[in-house]
């Protein structure tokens, strides 16, 4: 294919880390095949892409007001494309509501970007499309970090969640392709990888070529054999599938980051049942305790949804109780938002009044702040090892510890890309300050 003149791409990414990676792939594919380079200025762009999220309702509403604004301010000749989960879920309705949109590309069809970018009116949202043969152009995120999708779609049926409807059934990407991709990124300077999937712990159960099953633990073992790779992160695991084999690997494999996301969603066993999460309050607490006991430095993060339909005060107090027992290091809080194509819509008559939902959300946030301060202050005086990755305009350099706390020190670009011991001298709720130990 002949290269065309250089064109500018403005891309906005909403939602989760999988969308970030998908956007990186879009950028890489359009650079390689269509000669696009990125710009941060929407008004000079030849192509505007919004990579959307449909997990909650607000971002969907925001999408339409935003593309309206883009349409007013863009160059006359510029095209607009809507990609990602809302594209999958609304399909051609997007063009009905916003006729100036040029193409719609679903979350499971990202690898087709180069084929549809010039097709006015194209809508590509097939969730059966088999893109497990992801052969993408080299993507370039941070110099030291890379992220790789290990599976697409989700086979769970959490009753509040739209993802299975937008991203389709779960298919794992072949293990050797993942290892090859990570090794390639490491050869290009990456020292850290994040393995991404909606439910990483179920990796290896279904491949598009019908090959034998494998497991996430096996994948972790293979990836960690790559020389030069120092840190492995992953997102998101599912508490139900964190089996003993996985926990053992987490404990003994020094390359695996000791920060683990355990999305609780609710602390009430009866709400967990209505959410179809597959574990009870006690089951979750047992697993979290086991991980904390085995890995003293572990940080545990979580997602919580308040005001799921039917959530009584007692149910909510169970959530508060779990928060008090686990003392999460980070909580991503959400108020339940009814989504199309989800089973929880059937519980409509049990919906919780918005003011109650807001009060519960505030309570979770305030309690969590106390735990966060406690955790962060406990680091003062300790020595931590930090991978430095960015230079700030105020002369500080920032990086992350193995258990994913952000640390700032005074320093220069000499620190970048290196693992360095730092003595912690100060703490805020979200980051630490320290001095490099020479």
Q: Which residues have C-beta within 8 Å of that of residue 176, sequence separation ≥ 6?
A: none
Q: Which is nearer to ligand 5AD, 222 or 303 (CB)?
A: 303
What span, in angstroms and rounded, lies between the C-alpha atoms of 364 and 266? 11
Q: Which is nearer to ligand 5AD, 161 or 250 (CB)?
A: 161
> In this chain, which stretch among 129-137, 147-155, 334-342, 422-430 interacts with ligand 5AD, using CB under 6 A?
334-342
Beta carbon of residue 299, minimum distance to ligand SF4 (angstroms, whole number) = 20
Beta carbon of residue 301, minimum distance to ligand 5AD (angstroms, whole number) = 11
Are the beta carbons of 13 and 20 closer than 8 angstroms?
yes
**Residue numbers 233-292 binding ligand 5AD by CB under 6 A:** 263, 265
Indicate which single residue of 84, 164, 197, 309 sits in contact with ligand SF4 (rule: CB under 6 A). 164
By CB under 6 A, residue 198 contacts ligand SF4: yes
Beta carbon of residue 266, minimum distance to ligand 5AD (angstroms, whole number) = 10
Q: Which residues have C-beta within 8 Å of that of residue 11, sequence separation ≥ 6?
A: 23, 26, 27, 38, 48, 49, 50, 51
Which of ligand SF4, ligand 5AD, none does 146 bind, CB closer than 5 to 8 A by kind? none
What span, in angstroms and rounded, lies between the C-alpha atoms of 362 and 404? 25
Which of ligand SF4, ligand 5AD, none does 198 bind, CB closer than 5 to 8 A by kind? ligand SF4
Nearest residue to 290 via CA among 248, 253, 327: 248
**Residue numbers 223-242 binding ligand SF4 by CB under 6 A:** 238
Are the beta carbons of 131 and 110 closer than 8 angstroms?
yes
Task: Report which DSSP code applies to 434.
Answer: E
Are the beta carbons of 405 and 433 closer than 8 angstroms?
no
# binding residues, ligand SF4 (CB under 6 A): 9
Nearest residue to 338 via CA among 176, 117, 161, 87: 161
Indicate which single residue of 216, 328, 334, 400 sits in contact with ligand 5AD (rule: CB under 6 A). 334
Indicate which single residue of 25, 34, 156, 231 sits in contact with ligand SF4 (rule: CB under 6 A). 156
Indicate which single residue of 25, 241, 339, 360 sits in contact with ligand 5AD (rule: CB under 6 A). 339
Q: Which is nearer to ligand 5AD, 236 or 379 (CB)?
A: 236
Query: How many helical (H) and strand (E) elements, i.e. helices and strands, does the chain have?
Result: 13, 19
Which of ligand SF4, ligand 5AD, none does 339 bind, CB closer than 5 to 8 A by kind? ligand 5AD
Q: Which is nearer to ligand SF4, 236 or 401 (CB)?
A: 236
* CA torsion through residues 321, 237, 29, 108, sign: negative
Are the beta carbons of 220 and 204 closer than 8 angstroms?
no
Which of ligand SF4, ligand 5AD, none does 156 bind, CB closer than 5 to 8 A by kind? ligand SF4
């Amino acid at each position: 294919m002949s290269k065309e003149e250089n064109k500018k791409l403005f891309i906005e990414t909403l939602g989760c880390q999988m969308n970030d990676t998908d956007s990186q792939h879009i950028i890489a594919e359009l650079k390689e095949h269509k000669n696009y380079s990125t710009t941060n200025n929407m008004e000079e762009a030849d192509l505007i892409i919004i990579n959307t999220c449909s997990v909650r309702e607000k971002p969907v509403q925001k999408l339409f007001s935003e593309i309206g604004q883009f349409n007013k301010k863009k160059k006359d000749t510029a095209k607009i494309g809507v990609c990602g989960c809302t594209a999958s879920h609304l399909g051609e309705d997007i063009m009905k509501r916003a006729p100036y949109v040029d193409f719609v590309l679903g979350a499971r069809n990202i690898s087709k970007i180069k084929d549809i970018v010039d097709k006015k009116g194209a809508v590509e949202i097939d969730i059966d499309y088999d893109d497990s043969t992801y052969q993408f152009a080299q993507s370039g995120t941070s110099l030291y970090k890379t992220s790789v999708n290990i599976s697409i779609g989700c086979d769970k049926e959490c009753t509040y969640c739209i993802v299975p409807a937008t991203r389709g059934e779960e298919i794992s990407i072949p293990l050797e392709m993942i290892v090859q991709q990570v090794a390639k990124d490491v050869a290009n300077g990456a020292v850290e990888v994040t393995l991404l999937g909606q439910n990483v712990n179920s990796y290896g159960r279904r491949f598009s070529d019908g090959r034998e099953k494998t497991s996430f633990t096996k994948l972790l073992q293979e990836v960690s054999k790559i020389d030069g790779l120092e840190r492995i992160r992953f997102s998101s695991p599912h508490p139900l599938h964190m089996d003993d084999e996985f926990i053992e690997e987490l404990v003994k494999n020094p390359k695996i980051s000791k920060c683990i996301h355990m999305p609780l969603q609710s602390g009430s066993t009866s709400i967990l049942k209505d959410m179809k999460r597959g574990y009870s309050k006690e089951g979750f607490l047992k697993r979290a305790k086991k991980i904390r006991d085995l890995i003293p430095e572990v940080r545990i993060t979580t997602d919580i949804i308040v005001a799921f339909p039917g959530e009584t005060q007692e149910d909510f107090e169970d959530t508060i109780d779990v928060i008090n027992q686990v003392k999460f290091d980070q909580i991503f809080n959400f108020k339940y938002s009814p989504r199309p194509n989800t089973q929880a819509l059937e519980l409509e008559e049990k919906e919780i009044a918005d003011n109650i939902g807001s009060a519960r959300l505030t309570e979770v946030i305030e309690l969590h702040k106390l735990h966060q301060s406690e955790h962060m202050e406990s680091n003062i005086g300790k020595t931590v090892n930090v991978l430095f990755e960015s230079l700030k305009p105020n002369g500080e350099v920032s990086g992350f510890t193995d258990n994913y706390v952000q640390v700032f020190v005074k320093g220069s670009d000499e620190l970048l890309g290196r693992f360095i011991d730092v003595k912690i001298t100060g703490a805020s709720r979200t980051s630490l300050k320290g001095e490099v130990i020479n």
